Amino acid sequence: MRPSTKKNLKTAAIYSGILFLGLLLGQNFADENIRNGLNPVLPLGFTEKTTKLQQVLHLINDYYVDSLNIDTMQNVAINDLVSKLDPHSLYFAPERARRINEDLEGNFDGIGVEYYTINDTLLVTGIFPGGPAEKGGIHIGDKLLRVDDQLIAGVKINQKDVAAMVRGDQGTKVRIWIKRDGMEINNPFIIVRDKIKVSSIEAAYVIDTATAYVKIKRFGAQTAHDFNTAIGQLKKQGTNNLILDLRENGGGYLTAATELASQFLHDKQLIVYTLGAHHQRTDYFSSATGQFTSGKLAVLIDGESASASEIVAGAIQDLKRGIVVGQPSFGKGLIQEQFEFGDGSALNLTVARYFTPSGRCIQRPYDSFYGNKYFANGGGIKPDIYIAEDSLSHNDFYKKLLNQGIISDYVFENLVSEIPSFSSEHFIAHYKLPSNNYRRFLNFAQKRGIHVNNRTARLSKLLVESDMKALMGKYFFGTPSFYKIKNRTDPNLIRTIQVLRTE
C-alpha cells in the first residue's frame, strides 16, 4: 500500500482498526510483534467483554481434544467476522495480499511472460518487451515443460503455482525447459529474474485524425504517470477528442483516481470527498497540472466499472466536463484502507464512503450484519447515453463459451500455429478467418460439452469471430491490437465517436 494512501486515515481510525482485530488475534500476535521489535499495542484497553473471542481461541488451543493450528483458527474467525461487515471489507492471507499489492503497484520480480493452459501444458502467449524472458531467448508459442526441477507439462498444475515458481527475487536465476515447433529443446533456458513494470494502460491509439482512445485496466500507483505519457504522445498526433475506456475496470487506489480525474479538470475543482464515522470529511481537488483540460471527452463504463472508475466517471459527469456512455456502473461507493500484519496478511477495512462533487453516494444496497442497515442512496453511475447490451448476440450460448474458455482454447489450439508475415495494421484491416472456421469451431465446442443451437450460434457468430481475431491479434502483435480489433465493431465505441463528432 502506498504511504500516501495510508495517511488518509486519522490516528484514531488506525488504532480503532488495530484494536478491532486485537480481540481476535490476542497474545500470540502480540508476542510476534515483540519478537520483531514492534510496539505490542494489540492487548491494550481490553475489557472482559471485548476479550471473549480471544479467550475462546486460547481455550481451544489449550484444551481441545485434537491438535489444531491456531493460526488457521484465527483466520477462520477473522474471515467470519469481517464477512458480516460489508461486501468490500476483506481479510487477505499473506500470498494473496502480496499479489494484490503487486498488481496495484504495477511491478513485481519475475521473468515477464504471459501463458495460457492448453491440455495441461502452458503456452507462452505474451512476452514483456525487453524483459528477462525475451533476453533469455523465450519466444511466443513456446510450451513450458519444466521449471527448475519441477515438471509442469502434462500434469494438473495451477497457474498460480507456476507463477510462484517463475517469480522470485530480482537477480536470481530460474531454469526453464521448453518445447518449440513441436521439438523439445534439451538444454534449459537460464533466465535472470528482474523487476517487471506493468502499465495500467492496455491500449492508447488514434482512432481517426480527431479522436484518441485510451483503455485503463486498473487504478494503480503508476496510472497517472502512464496516462500522462500516453496522452502526450496522442496530442502530438493532433487529436482533440478523447474516449477514456473504464469498462471492466474494478478500481484501485483512491489517489490514482483523483490524479487521473485531475488531468481533465482545471485547478481546484472538487473531484470527490470521503466521510466515515471515524473519518472526518476529506476533500480531493484537482491540481493545475491537467494534460487534457480542453477538448471533447467521453468516458465508457459498464457493470464492472467500480470504485476508482466510478470516482472518475462521477466527477466528469457532475462537473459537466464530458459525457458518460455505456451501462450503469457497479455501485461501489466505499473506501477501504489496508492494515498490514507482521506475517504479511492484511485487512482491507471499509473506513469511509465517497461522494461525487454533487454529493452522490453511489454505493448499491447491501445488508449489514451490524444493525441490518442499508448504506445507499444510489446504485452506480448512470450513463448520460445508455447503450443496452446486444442480448441477441450476448446470449446464453456465447456466455457459456466465455465462462468455459472455449473461444480461447480454440484459438490457441487451431489459429496461431504460424506467425503472419504482414504488419499489425494489415492484419487488423484485412485479415479474414477461413470460410469453414465457424463450423469447425462449433464442432470443437460440442466436443467440449457445449450444446449448440443453430439459431443462437448464428446470432453469436460475428461476436465470436471478432473475439477470435482479437485474440489472434493480441498473440501476434500485442494487447493494443486486441482492442483495435474489438473496437471496430463495438457499438458503444461507434456510438461515442458519432456523438463526439456531432457535438
Q: What are the catalytic residues? A: 307, 318, 332
DSSP 145-173: EEETTEE-SSS---HHHHHHHH--STT-E
- CA 178 – CA 241 distance, rounded (Å): 46
Distance of CA 338 to the CA centre of its chain: 17
Q: Are 305 and 247 in contact, with CB atoms under 8 Å apart?
A: yes
Q: Are 139 and 189 in contact, with CB atoms under 8 Å apart?
A: no
Q: Are 243 and 203 in contact, with CB atoms under 8 Å apart?
A: no
The three grid cell numbers given for residue 419, joined into one nine-digit string: 506467425
- CA 243 – CA 272 distance, rounded (Å): 21
Q: How far is CA 12 from CA 49, 228, 282, 345, in A?
A: 21, 36, 15, 22
Task: Spell out the residues 6+ positions from residue 403 whose beta carbon is closer than 8 angstroms to its own.
Answer: none
- CA 127 – CA 130 distance, rounded (Å): 9
Strands 113-118, 183-184: pairing is: unpaired
Strands 296-301, 189-192: pairing is: unpaired
C-alpha R_g of the chain? 25
Please name the helix (run of DSSP H) or strand (run of DSSP E) that holds residue 430, with its range, or none: helix 424-430
- CA 249 – CA 306 distance, rounded (Å): 7
Q: Are 318 and 356 in contact, with CB atoms under 8 Å apart?
A: yes
Q: How far is CA 251 from CA 303, 311, 455, 487, in A?
A: 12, 9, 37, 22
Residue with cell 505519457: 229
Which long-range contacts (C-beta less than 8 Å, at least 24 apart) are formed by 56-59? 57/24, 57/26, 58/26, 58/27
Please name the helix (run of DSSP H) or strand (run of DSSP E) that holds residue 189, with its range, or none: strand 189-192
- CA 131 – CA 275 distance, rounded (Å): 43
